[in-house]
Structure 1
Amino acid sequence: MTAGQERLFALEASGGGRLFSVNPDGSDKTVIVTGCRIPDGIAVDVEAGHIYWTNMGVPSENDGSIERVDLDGGNRTTVVPSGVTYTPKQLHFEATQRKLYWGDREGMRVMRCDLDGTNVETLVRTGQGEQDRRDETTWCVGVAVDVAAGHLYWTQKGPSDAGLGKIMRSGLDLPSGESVDERSDVEVLFDDLPEPIDLEFDPGHRMLYWTDRGDPPRGNTANRAPVDPPGGRRPPEILLNHLMEGIGLALDPEGEHIYVTDLGGSVYAAGLDGADPKEILVAQGNLTGIVHTVLPA
């Protein structure tokens, strides 16, 4: 990989759990790490030269974790050990605060920590205990951050194909004197969604993007919507459809591209508006998280 080169880093949850990278056209596939425990969310800290990812572990057990490697796969280390987070899903690296944010599905929370795994915090909790855990409307999956406006976004996916999914928003920090279970600043941005999964936020256009696994026509799609449009919120715009259980989502605002993965093993590329869609990889196993980055010069 040459200096300044664009790369996509992605996760395969099948085949023993792999982390790999490719060029934006799908060429030059390079396996970086194997032996991940159902990897799901991925983030890259270009400045430090690190790749982070979440391991779901066994979803019925409290054994999720977060790991890190160098860009070449060296120095693999566990950042958040098993048991601290239940079933970590999408992972977001926030460069200004230098924090990791993630959704904890069966843990029913949104969490963050420092890059070395210290200062683990629960920011939102949607349920507690086994009875709440059986209610999939409490499951937090996707996560995105808008530091400039001080906002945290997350998805609550709901049961499969039930049309009970939501995209939520709160402040980045817990309001003074409040608890993670009853935050007064939580609002519902979009509801009655088929099954929203991963999120990305484009700060330049104040636009939220997400994948949805639910039934067609609104499900198995990639979508976008402005977060605070003049005149009030509008229905989401479908950018891609006919996905095979869409999961991962990556934005390249400068290059005006969106990248999407699905459990069917494909990676798709399109314009930010969904124009000129291409299938750049096929039959790659059960693909989950994906991130776009430019390697340092």
Structure 2
Amino acid sequence: MRNIEVKLVIPVLIIRPGPVVKSPTLLDLDLGLAAPEPSATTGQVLQLHLNGSEPKPLVTGQAMPDGIDVDRSIGRMFWTAMGGPGAPDGAVYSAKTDGTDTAVVAAPGVVNTPKQLCLDTQHKQVYLCDRKGLQAIVKRDQADCDVMSWCVGIAVFPSRGKFYWTQKGPSKGGKGRMFYADISRLVGDSRSDITCILDNLPESIDLHINEKNDKLYWTDRGEIPHGNSLNSISLDAAGIAVKDSTLGPRPQILCRQFKKAIKLALNSENDGTFITDHKKFKHMIYKNKHQTFTGIVLV
């Protein structure tokens, strides 16, 4: 496996319907907490089809897996494992998309509680947020990390030279925020480029960027009327949120009334949005009382 830089619940799957062109394959993470005999390592990486068939376990024995993404150019998937509650033993792993050739990207303890993960396949870099480690991590030649509190979701926009992350704030606190910074800045540099683009969000969680339409999508937990929702905002040519006249950036609520909207994956070819949620669904693809879904990605 080539060297790679590391930049640093939910029993129902959701889809926001769009015109279906082809049936994609999903990779989904099962926390393992709902297993018949749950343990610290009953988490697994699953392959899931949209026909409702039983998912296929690809990788088992995982400690609370949470975020996943795929580099299709090399046929590998990357995912985070949060580790045990309260223990600084999070890790990052990689494998071929069929579950073989598993490799350690960041050994247990290198990160605390890694959450969402995304890939910059152009520059062969992995971005992730470390929630209880209170940091969004960039690892270049063992450099130190910038510290940001309660980071959860992360997305990268290589063609615009920026990455984005959420800081969800307290549960149902209405203090969620979203930031961006430049990819080109070296770790340890003065981060005067950090900009808050949205604040007072219900409880912002995970992010996804559609580079084809220059839009940033995210899930929000929190309370109604704006919480437990799927949202989007347009980005300009510089990767900055488009402002609505003098009112500043204004998010668009695409779907709401989820129970606890967590992870999302986009299919830009047919305008489909896949979300993992807790006990609510718009269109259920698969459900199993012995599985607790977190991360999700299209293959």
TM-score relative to the length of structure 2: 0.80
Q: Work out whether 1:150 is the aligned partner of 2:150.
A: no
| Inter-CA distance 78–234: structure 2 relative to 1 (3 Å threshold) | same
Find the partner of 2:81 among 55, 60, 65: 55
CA distance in 1, matches of 2:284, 2:184: 39
The question of whether the paired residues in 2 share the 8 Å contact of 1:66 and 1:80 is answered with yes
Equivalent residue, structure 2, for 1:248: 263
Greater shift in the superposed pair: 226-235 or 74-83: 226-235
Equivalent residue, structure 2, for 1:10: 28
After superposition, what is the alpha-carbon deviation per residue over 1:231-260, rounded to whole angstroms, capped at 9, x for unaligned?
A: 554422222222221111101112211111
CA distance in 2, matches of 1:7, 1:121: 37
CA distance in 2, matches of 1:161, 1:176: 32
CA distance in 1, matches of 2:292, 2:226: 22
Equivalent residue, structure 1, for 2:174: 163
User: Aligned with 1:148: secondary structure?
Assistant: helix
After superposition, what is the alpha-carbon deviation per residue over 1:119-138, rounded to whole angstroms, capped at 9, x for unaligned?
A: 46666422xxxxxxxxxxx2
| Inter-CA distance 122–243: structure 2 relative to 1 (3 Å threshold) | farther
Aligned length: 262
The question of whether the paired residues in 2 share the 8 Å contact of 1:109 and 1:122 is answered with no
CA distance in 2, matches of 1:263, 1:39: 17
| Inter-CA distance 9–148: structure 2 relative to 1 (3 Å threshold) | same
The percentage of aligned residue pairs carrying the same residue is 35
Equivalent residue, structure 1, for 2:194: 186
Which amino acid letter does the alignment assign opposite residue 6 of structure 1? P
The question of whether the paired residues in 2 share the 8 Å contact of 1:143 and 1:155 is answered with yes
Q: How large is the RMSD of aligned CA atoms in angstroms?
A: 2.3
Find the partner of 1:226 among 229, 234, 244: 234
The question of whether the paired residues in 1 share the 8 Å contact of 2:244 and 2:250 is answered with no
The question of whether the paired residues in 2 share the 8 Å contact of 1:123 and 1:174 is answered with no
Find the partner of 2:147 among 110, 121, 125: 125
| Inter-CA distance 87–166: structure 2 relative to 1 (3 Å threshold) | same
Q: Work out whether 1:261 is the aligned partner of 2:276.
A: yes
User: Aligned with 1:205: secondary structure?
Assistant: coil
Equivalent residue, structure 1, for 2:251: 236
Greater shift in the superposed pair: 82-91 or 234-243: 234-243
CA distance in 1, matches of 2:273, 2:124: 24
State the Cα distance separating 1:26 from its structure 2 match: 4.3
| Inter-CA distance 62–255: structure 2 relative to 1 (3 Å threshold) | same
| Inter-CA distance 249–76: structure 2 relative to 1 (3 Å threshold) | same
CA distance in 2, matches of 1:157, 1:206: 23
CA distance in 2, matches of 1:74, 1:283: 25
The question of whether the paired residues in 2 share the 8 Å contact of 1:110 and 1:122 is answered with no
User: Aligned with 1:278: secondary structure?
Assistant: coil
Find the partner of 1:289 among 281, 285, 295: 295
Larger RCO of the pair (alpha carbons < 8 Å, separation 6+): 2
The question of whether the paired residues in 2 share the 8 Å contact of 1:250 and 1:291 is answered with yes
State the Cα distance separating 1:5 from its structure 2 match: 7.2
CA distance in 1, matches of 2:65, 2:187: 35
| Inter-CA distance 225–56: structure 2 relative to 1 (3 Å threshold) | same
State the Cα distance separating 1:6 from its structure 2 match: 2.6
Which amino acid letter does the alignment assign opposite residue 291 of structure 1? V
| Inter-CA distance 253–99: structure 2 relative to 1 (3 Å threshold) | same
Q: Please, which runs of 5 or more residues in structure 2 have no aligned partner? A: 1-21, 36-41, 236-240
User: What aligned pairs does 1:21-170 form with structure 2 within 5 A after superposition?
Assistant: 21-27=47-53, 29-112=55-138, 119=141, 124-126=146-148, 138-170=149-181
